[in-house]
Amino acid sequence: MTMVKNKPICRAIDITKTYWRGKVSVEALRGVSLEIRNNDYVSIMGASGSGKSTLIHILSCLDTPTSGEYYLEDKLVSNYTDQELARIRNTFFGFVFQSFSLLPRLTGIDNVALPLIYAGIRKQDRAARAREILEKIGLGDRASHRPNEMSGGECQRVAIGRALINNPRVIFADEPTGNLDSKTGAEIMEIFDQLVDEGNTIVMVTHDPNVAAHAKKKIKLRDGLIEND
């Protein structure tokens, strides 16, 4: 894959996010600007309540900013319809959650193939592609099990497979090792490192400095602002 290296995929300009809890407003983000370029490996760190989860939700189009501009390849995200945003989450981005967020009734392979349903891929092709991805991340023999029959590491591999299935431009991960023991966490991080080596772009949120150490670019958030060091 050859990409124009200096052109950002994601460009956030002065993003703010204000939550209203009844009559009290909480300013989760107070003006964050950043760029994500191809093959970036970014970690976002910060204390609990620093706004790091909010930021990654906005970057991955799961949430919308209160103000500021967010561009995906020079297109303003606020101009997109719900339908188009769903399409972006489906094919442009992949997302790995702390708590895996797998559908309990589906097998590993079906969980991996889930985004393909919304991409309009036919059933036969879905299974083939999901199997291919699972082989790659070392879970081929556990593919037909359900999440409750898998270990945490296996679940997170399924979740990574699901994030990868549509060859996304950016993979977002929110505390990907947060629910795992340190050994399994390290295995997951190895997968991430390998993905970046293969040319993928990863943005992850973590509070663990050991995890953040894997990233090439580190962002620290404090009270809704990027802390410059």
Partner 1 sequence: MTSIFGKIALSLQTFKNHRLRSFLTTLGIIIGVTTVIAILSLIEGLNRTVSEQVQALGSDLIYVQKFTWISTGHRDLDKLAERPDLLPEDAEAIGKLASIEIAVPTASRQLTTLKHRDKEVSNVSIVGSDENYSYVNNYLVESGRDFTRDDITHRRSSGIIGSYIAANLFPDESPVGKDLMVEGHRVRVIGVFKEKGQFLGNSLDDFILIPNTVFEKFFPRSRASIFDRVYGGYSVAVKPKSSNMETAVDDIRELMRRRHGLGFDREDDFELNTQQMLMDLYQNITRVGFIAIVAIAAISLVVGGIGIMNIMLVSVAERTREIGIRKAVGASNQYILSQFLIESIILALIGGIIGIVLGMLLAALISTISPLKAAVAFWMILLGFGFSAAVGIFFGIYPARRAAGLNPIEALRYE
Map residues 17-56 to x or -, x wherever contact with partner 1 holds by CB under 8 A. ----------------------------------------
Binder among 11, 89, 129, 142 for partner 1 (CB under 8 A) = 89
Instruction: Give the integer Cα–Cα distance in Å for 212 and 192.
Output: 12
Q: Kindly identify the residues of this chain, within the stretch 154-173, that bind partner 1 according to CB under 8 A.
A: 162, 166
211 close to 41: Cβ distance less than 8 angstroms: no
Q: Does residue 76 interact with partner 1 by CB under 8 A?
A: no
Q: Does residue 91 interact with partner 1 by CB under 8 A?
A: yes
* Tokens linked to 217: 């670019």
Q: Which is nearer to partner 1, 105 or 216 (CB)?
A: 105
Binder among 63, 69, 208, 223 for partner 1 (CB under 8 A) = 63
Instruction: Give the integer Cα–Cα distance in Å for 25 and 37.
Output: 33
Q: Kindly identify the residues of this chain, within the stretch 196-215, that bind partner 1 according to CB under 8 A.
A: none
Q: Which of 102, 95, 99 is nearest to 170 (CA)?
A: 95
* Tokens linked to 44: 């976002």
CB 146 to partner 1: min, Å? 13
CB 132 to partner 1: min, Å? 18
Query: Do you know the residue count of the chain?
Result: 229
Identify the three-state secondary structure at position 75.
strand
Q: Does residue 146 interact with partner 1 by CB under 8 A?
A: no
Q: Label residues 137-167 b or e (16+ Cβ within 10 Å = b).
A: bebeebbeeebeebebbbbbbbbbbbbbbbe
Binding positions for partner 1, rule: CB under 8 A: 57, 62-63, 82-83, 86-87, 89-91, 95, 97, 101-103, 105, 114-115, 117-120, 122-123, 162, 166
